[in-house]
Amino acid sequence: MSIEQWIEACAAEDIDVEDVIRFDYEDRTFAIYRTANSIYYASDGYCTHERVHLATGLVMDDVIECPKHNGRFDIPTGAAKRRPVCIALKTYPIKIEEGKVLIQID
């Protein structure tokens, strides 16, 4: 049985609109997104194609483009959108409380 917990990642204002930041927690890396309409999302931090940090990629509307081979993922669902990526990105519940970004991880 896995235990889920809410972890504080950053302040909401730490992420610019249409941007992504890296968040490391214990031995894991996450990507925290703020889309053009200021909705926040969280996913695993590495591309599923190779071990590349998505936080150095480009956010365009609801899509993150990997900086290495320009593969794309749908940010809300993690679905692979453009080759060479073909494995979806794991996403995590996220919420804003008192100006803090919290993500739920297991």
Per residue, the 3-state secondary structure of 1-46, as one string, reads CCCCEEEEEEEHHHCCCCEEEEEEECCEEEEEEECCCCCEEEEECE
Residue 54 DSSP SS3: helix
C-alpha pair distances (Å), 9 with each of 16, 26, 49: 15, 12, 25
Candidates 4-12, 26-34, 44-52, 88-96; binding stretch for ligand FES (CB under 6 A): 44-52
Q: Which is nearer to ligand FES, 68 or 100 (CB)?
A: 68
Q: Note whether 53 binds ligand FES by CB under 6 A.
A: no
Pairing outcome for strands 72-74 and 5-11: unpaired
Q: Which is nearer to ligand FES, 35 or 48 (CB)?
A: 48
Residue 60 DSSP SS3: strand
Q: Note whether 7 binds ligand FES by CB under 6 A.
A: no
8-state DSSP, 81: E
Question: Binder to ligand FES among 6, 10, 22, 68 (CB under 6 A)?
Answer: 68
Question: Binder to ligand FES among 85, 89, 101, 102 (CB under 6 A)?
Answer: 85
> What's the min distance (Å) between Cβ of 63 and ligand FES?
13
> What's the min distance (Å) between Cβ of 30 and ligand FES?
16
Q: Note whether 75 binds ligand FES by CB under 6 A.
A: no
